[in-house]
């Protein structure tokens, strides 16, 4: 179940999205921006973010899976790949949350092999103290403590993604 008041409110998230989109708009002026949304978790963040980016961009999606309920398997699978050719283009990977860093590191390495002009990372949430693999986060929303969160695209067992804010999740006996 979802506990207490939001960890991050709708307003806090929206203010941060606007700030990040502003920085991205400045940095990508005159470039060939390809935004890659890492599904499923980043779908809501990506759709809000790109609405505030003021430079031309192309959007594509990649579906990655590494989690079973609330545990990372450490084994990243690409369930659905991008359709765009990113060679010579400026890739921005958009992720919901960076925890161990294993997922994003795997995806980043995979993109680097496609000969893009650049690869940068935009992550809404950062559980920094959990990091196992170091990944460079160019645009970071919020650093959060080591708690399991849901909402704003993030799930527990594919539920709670529709919450408009981010909340701390605690398992009940039925959900365990």
The least CB distance from residue 160 to ligand IMP, in Å, is 9
For 32-43, give one letter per residue: b (16+ CB within 10 A) or e.
bbbbbbbbbbbb
DSSP-derived secondary structure letter, 40 = T
The least CB distance from residue 148 to ligand IMP, in Å, is 4
The least CB distance from residue 41 to Mg ion, in Å, is 3
Minimal CA–CA distance to 2: which of 162, 149, 153?
A: 149
Catalytic residue among 99, 138, 155, 157: 99
Site for Mg ion in 64-123 (CB under 5 A): 96
Binding flag, residue 41, Mg ion (CB under 5 A): yes
Neighbours of 173 (CB within 10 A): 5
70 is catalytic: no
Site for ligand IMP in 14-73 (CB under 6 A): 41, 66-67, 72
Among 6, 101, 116, 151, binds ligand IMP (CB under 6 A): 101
What are the structure tokens assigned to 156, written together? 């527990």
Site for ligand IMP in 120-149 (CB under 6 A): 148-149
The least CB distance from residue 6 to ligand IMP, in Å, is 14
Beta strands in 16-135 (DSSP E): 33-39, 57-68, 71-80, 90-98, 118-126
What are the structure tokens assigned to 119, written together? 């690869």
Q: Report the C-alpha gap between 171 and 173 in whole angstroms.
A: 7
Site residues, ligand IMP (CB under 6 A)? 41, 66-67, 72, 95-104, 148-150, 154-155
Residues that are catalytic = 99
Residues that bind Mg ion (CB under 5 A): 41, 96
């Amino acid at each position: 179940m979802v506990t207490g008041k939001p960890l991050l409110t709708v307003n806090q998230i929206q203010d941060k999205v606007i700030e990040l989109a502003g920085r991205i708009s400045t940095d990508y002026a005159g470039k060939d921006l390809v935004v890659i949304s890492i599904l499923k978790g980043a779908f809501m963040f990506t759709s809000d973010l790109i609405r505030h980016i003021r430079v031309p961009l192309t959007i594509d999606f990649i579906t990655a899976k590494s989690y079973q309920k609330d545990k990372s398997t450490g084994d990243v699978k690409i369930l659905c790949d991008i359709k765009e050719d990113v060679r010579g283009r400026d890739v921005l990977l958009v992720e919901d949350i960076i925890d161990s860093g294993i997922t994003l590191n795997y995806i980043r390495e995979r993109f680097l092999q496609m000969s893009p002009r650049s690869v940068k990372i935009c992550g809404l949430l950062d559980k920094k103290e959990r990091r196992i693999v170091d990944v460079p986060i160019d645009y970071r929303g919020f650093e959060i403590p080591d708690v399991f969160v849901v909402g704003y695209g993030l799930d527990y067992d594919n539920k709670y993604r529709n919450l408009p804010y981010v909340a701390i999740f605690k398992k009940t006996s039925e959900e365990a």
